[in-house]
């Protein structure tokens, strides 16, 4: 179950981060762009975490 949850959260963070990044770029808001990039990075980390859990048998 942990793998699925991590990968679901990862997808949500990546999508939200991409939206923030795009809106920040369109409006010239560098803070929002930075937040979006950070959120996408968190999503990538969560995806890796989910993959590791899956490889270890999802018991973590």
Element (H, E) at 47: helix 30-55
Q: For the purposes of burial, counting CB atoms within 10 Å of the CB of 36, is it exposed (0-12), middle (13-18) or buried (19 or more)?
A: buried
- End-to-end CA distance of the chain, in Å? 9
CA dist 47 → 11, 22, 23, 28 (Å): 8, 21, 24, 29
Whether residue 43 contacts residue 10, with contact meaning beta carbons closer than 8 Å, is answered with yes
> pLDDT truncated to tens, each residue of the chain (60 aa)?
688 898 999 999 999 999 999 999 999 999 999 999 999 999 999 999 889 988 888 654
Instruction: Tell me the pTM.
Output: 0.82
């Amino acid at each position: 179950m942990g793998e699925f949850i991590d990968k679901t959260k990862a997808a949500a963070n990546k999508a939200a981060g991409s939206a923030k990044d795009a809106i920040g770029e369109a409006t010239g808001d560098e803070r929002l762009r930075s937040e979006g990039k950070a959120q996408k990075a968190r999503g990538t980390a969560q995806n890796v975490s989910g993959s590791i859990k899956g490889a270890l048998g999802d018991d973590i």
